[in-house]
Amino acid sequence: MEIVAKVSQKENEIIKVKKGITQISKALVRFIHSFKQAFLFFFLAPSKSTSKWEQAVFYVQQVCFLRSQAVQK
């Protein structure tokens, strides 16, 4: 019985580690997607009235705000 309990405990630990890795990888994918969007926006911004730096800063602020709203939900 003790061996079965130890195996079950190790399986639970492995499952927790797998869930943690999955959460980290999902967060990394979201970060990369946000960074890619900001990068593309910086180079493809159509407006000539404001500088690309200002537009990029605005976009990154918007992405950060939307991410914080999504985390709160």
Nearest-angstrom CA–CA distance, 20 and 27: 11
Q: Which 8-state DSSP code applies to residue 62? A: H
User: What are the sequence ranges of the domains in the chain?
Assistant: 2-72
Element (H, E) at 30: helix 2-44
Q: Computed over its alpha carbons, how large is the radius of gyration of the chain? A: 21
Verdict on whether the full-model pTM lies above 0.85: no
User: pLDDT, tens digit, for every residue of 16-63?
Assistant: 999 988 998 888 888 888 887 777 766 665 556 667 777 778 788 878
Q: How many CA atoms lie within 13 A of 18 on its CB side?
A: 6
Determine phi and psi for 46, rounding to 5 degrees: -80, -25
The confidence score (pLDDT) of residue 38 equals 74
The confidence score (pLDDT) of residue 50 equals 64
The confidence score (pLDDT) of residue 64 equals 81
